[in-house]
């Protein structure tokens, strides 16, 4: 079962200083965080980009064990990490999966793929990626 997420996005900005160009990108990141057996175990989950929380879901869909997370942030070109963290759950550990994980700006879109992992409370499903 795939739950679609529409990730709406913004723009890219650039600036120059002493002949060096730094590029800052406003991006939206998101996806679905699902209990693999669709059990309603998610009490709170967070989406983190480079260690900063950009979205939180505190109530999962009651019958499907799913939490949709979408957040925005400004990032520079280079290496980054996106994490889906299970912050609170009704039982631990549980098997979770991410579906439709995407990072997108006004000009670039990256699909990071789906992952499945057993998590205890406080653990994350993580993605390392390069931008752009």
Q: pLDDT tens for the chain, 132 residues: list them.
A: 444 443 333 322 333 334 445 679 999 999 999 999 988 899 999 999 999 999 999 875 545 678 889 999 999 999 999 999 999 999 999 999 999 999 999 999 999 999 999 999 999 999 999 999
How far is the CA of 12 from the CAs of 52, 74, 87, 92, 132, in angstroms? Answer: 20, 9, 32, 41, 11
**Distance (Å, whole) CA 74 – CA 67:** 23
- Which domains are present in the chain? 23-131 (2.60.60)
pTM: 0.82
Residue with the two structure tokens 């390069």: 130
Closest listed residue to residue 98, CA positions, set 111, 86, 81, 84: 84
Question: For residues 95 and 116, is the Cβ–Cβ distance under 8 A?
Answer: yes
């Amino acid at each position: 079962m795939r739950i679609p997420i529409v990730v709406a996005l913004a723009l890219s900005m650039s600036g120059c200083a002493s002949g060096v160009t730094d590029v800052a990108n406003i991006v939206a990141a998101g996806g679905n965080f699902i209990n693999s057996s669709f059990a309603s175990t998610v009490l709170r989950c967070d989406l983190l980009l480079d260690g900063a929380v950009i979205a939180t879901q505190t109530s999962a869909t009651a019958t499907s064990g799913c939490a949709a997370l979408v957040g925005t942030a400004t990032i520079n070109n280079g290496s980054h990490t996106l994490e889906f963290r299970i912050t609170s759950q009704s039982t631990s550990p549980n098997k979770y999966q991410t579906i439709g994980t995407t990072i997108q700006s006004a000009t670039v879109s990256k699909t990071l793929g789906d992952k499945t992992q057993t998590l205890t409370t406080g653990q994350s499903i993580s993605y390392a990626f390069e931008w752009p």
